[in-house]
Amino acid sequence: MIHNYLKVALRNLIKHRYISLIMVGGLAASMAAFLLITRYVFYELSYDAFHQKADNIYRIRLDDYKNGVLTNSSAISYYAEAPAIMEAFPEVQDFVRLHEADGMISYQNGAGAVVSYHEKRAFYTDSSFFNIFSFPLLKGSADRVLRRPESVVISESMVQKYFGREEPVGKTLTLNSNWKGGTYVVEGVFADFPPNSHFHFDFLFSIRNLLTNNQFANGGWYWTNFYTYLLLKPGTSAESLEKRLPGLIEKHIGKQLRKYKVEQKFVLQPLRDIHLYSRMPSEIKPNGKIETIYILVLVALLILAIGWLNYINLTTVLGIERTKEVGIRKALGSGKQQLVRQFLFESFVVNLSSLFLAALLFVVVLAVFDGWIHTPIGYTLFQQPVFWVVAVIIFSLGFFLSGFYPAFILSSYKPIAVLKGRISRHVGGELLRKGLVVFQFTASVVLIIATIVINQQLNFMQNQDLGMSIEQKLVVKAPKVLQSESFMNELALFKERVGENVGVKNVTASSEVPGQEIFWTQEFKRFQDAGADFKLCSILAVDEDFISAYEIDLLAGRNFHENVLLDDGAIIINQTALRAFGFPTPESAINQEIGDVNPKRIVGVVQDFHQQSLKMVNTPILFYHIPWNSTYLTITLQGKALRSTLPAIEATYQEVYPGNAFEYFFLDDHFQQQYKSEEQLAKLFSGFSLLAVGIACLGLLGLAMYTAKNRTKEIGVRKVLGASVGSIVVLLSKDFLRPVGLAVVVASCLAWYAMERWLQDFAHRIELAWWVFALAGALAVGIALITVSFHSIKAAMMNPVKNLRSE
């Protein structure tokens, strides 16, 4: 029986090879798209799942409240909190803290050559790191590394970078950092972190060497610059523990918080929730969005549904050709159940063929897709059983749902009516087929609108006036010189030497550059105003050339003096800080003081500029004139002779700062990196919306073929009675444009709601314009008209005598 089913199925597919090819190709394309999106979604959901103790690891989030209102959430918290929590609550098994240690790392090999690089992925941490997190150590023991103050563990990538073929363990690295530098002995090597980890490190220094810093006096409750993770004992309720933490805060810093009129809470974030659910200031690296995952899952299901609906439409068209076959089979004794099994088997063959073709397409475009979205997913996802379980369930469900309706309709034809050529046109069937078209084009138009809006918002953010200039800016990592006098002398020398190059316009030093979060924050209030509230401000250390080099408008007051000693206690503020402290005008803020014990005097007010992307709100920024606290040197270039200018700058840098690595980036490229997730989303929507429209057109093509065959006699009568080809084309096209028009209306409403929700995450956003919906509708109608025109014109130009003779 199965052999007979297979033979009949293949015979019909070959007989109608063009429609079969469209049917299988459309379904395969939708399945391949579904597999690609599902693979990406599973990758995003797999973050930090590889840790054996992941379900019991929590990161502490620090929330600030004023008058019961949440004012700030931060991923960093106090140094002393973790030991205090572990001591007070026995359900806490262990803890680990992380503090940035970025700086210049050097190694002098046996031949006397020095290898130096500025490293951002370097942190201080506790010796419990490898006991809590499941990062394999290739050299060294998890129970022994990082216990001595002068110890460091490095990644396998750094072994090749610094040591080449030398044995790294036992070798000495020199760290020159703004925090705690010195020499460290390599005690171990860990495997490179997998890409689906919410943090990536190359160097882990012992945190014990950080304790000698005076910043950790008073028990470490006055320095919030640590990422803190707790390992809870199995079976512990994180919610119950979290409710008891306020008492610990009150015990240690309650008095200090009341002084600033602030309430703080510790919130326990599950490790596996960090990547998709945590988007706070001070994150180790930018995280994803769970909302994006929901959107992509919906897109994947829509594209798959469009492919299945195409199969239903095209199978119905083929069914018209097979009505006599059904009639003969029934006349010869075939029952309805037997016919249903036949058509379901054919559905299985088509879906299975489509699945094999989809797998081939999937493999072919896999590497291109990963490069396109700049995400190194790899092949480990295929080793997860849940991925294959979902794939099998979706395939089985699709095969049954897409095959059931055609099988039921085709097997229900009356044999006598079929053999006499009288096939009734069921109103319910017509409505269902048009309803499928409405659904397909609704999904397609929603994707088109979303694609346009996402690209609009991306272009808006990338091209908006930032309130400063980031063009022609070459940013070089500043040398790590701890003495302020030495730094100032060498900075002046570097500016003088570099300025002699005709390709250099100016040079400035700063602790951060635009495109980066300012981690240095502090609470300020109007000085000697007892009732004033403290405001959290970001502090940017700059030299006297920063404001002019970045072309930031000075609204009132003056810039910093060239002589740092003349600016003792002087600061410059931005407009957001001006409003936060309640000054009515920029002029009114000049010579006013803000602070608590040691007030700062405002000498200038600058216009707001976007320190970070337009996704973020502007924050109060205070400029301090302390150039020796700089991390970056920004060199403004002029002219186009970059090839000759860059080597000259490097030579001058090495001459003025011998032993320091020359590492640089261009600021405009660096700033645009903040929009990586939006660019990725725009690419995904652009590609898959085009695919969805293409597949939906195949379904519309099937409906056009079905309608043309059903109305063959009507067209013949109309032509005999004098109807023109144009009038018949218009008549047939109306049937197709009505469902497409309805789809445009429904899609516009859905897309408006969805895009408004999506745009709410942006501090600076576009407004939805009517023309976006009109353009998407016009595209949908135009594509639909082009799709059906061929069959409409072909049907209208047929010889009416042949049409009527077949009666």
What is the DSSP secondary-structure string of 387-408? HHHHHHHHHHHHHHHHHHHHHH
Which helix (H) or strand (E) is 409 found in, with range? helix 385-410
Apex CA 44: angle with CA 41 and CA 50, to 5°? Answer: 125
d(CA 15, CA 776) in angstroms, rounded, equals 37
Dihedral sign, Cα of residue 137, residue 141, residue 143, residue 145: negative
| Cβ 95 vs Cβ 83: under 8 Å | yes
| Cβ 354 vs Cβ 24: under 8 Å | yes
**Residue 270 burial by Cβ neighbours in a 10 Å radius (0-12, 13-18, 19+):** middle
| pTM of the shown model | 0.83
Identity of the amino acid at 488:
M
Q: What is the per-residue pLDDT for 574?
A: 96
Neighbour count for residue 112 (Cβ, 10 Å): 6
Apex CA 47: angle with CA 41 and CA 51, to 5°? Answer: 145
Q: How far apart are the first and last CA of the chain?
A: 36
d(CA 205, CA 146) in angstroms, rounded, equals 7
Q: What is the per-residue pLDDT for 428?
A: 45
Dihedral sign, Cα of residue 36, residue 41, residue 43, residue 44: positive
Name the stretches of the chain with pLDDT < 70.
Answer: 1-17, 178-179, 211-219, 316-336, 339, 378-383, 387, 401-403, 405-430, 432-433, 480-485, 641, 702-703, 705-716, 718-723, 725-726, 728-729, 731-732, 790-807
Q: What single-letter DSSP state applies at residue 598?
A: S
**To the nearest 10°, the Cα dihedral for 411, 415, 421, 425?**
-40
| Cβ 415 vs Cβ 674: under 8 Å | no
| Cβ 571 vs Cβ 521: under 8 Å | no
DSSP bridge pairs for 634: 475, 508
| Cβ 361 vs Cβ 29: under 8 Å | yes
Q: What is the per-residue pLDDT for 482?
A: 47
CA 227 to mean position of chain CA atoms: 22
Q: What is the per-residue pLDDT for 422?
A: 53
Q: What is the per-residue pLDDT for 512?
A: 93
CA 126 to mean position of chain CA atoms: 30
**Residue 663 burial by Cβ neighbours in a 10 Å radius (0-12, 13-18, 19+):** middle
What is the DSSP secondary-structure string of 705-731? HHHHHHTHHHHHHHHHTT--HHHHHHH
DSSP bridge pairs for 622: 539, 573
Which helix (H) or strand (E) is 796 found in, with range? helix 770-796
Q: Could you tell me which of 301, 419, 349, 312 has the C-alpha nearest to residue 10?
A: 349
Q: What is the per-residue pLDDT for 217?
A: 47
Q: What is the per-residue pLDDT for 353?
A: 82
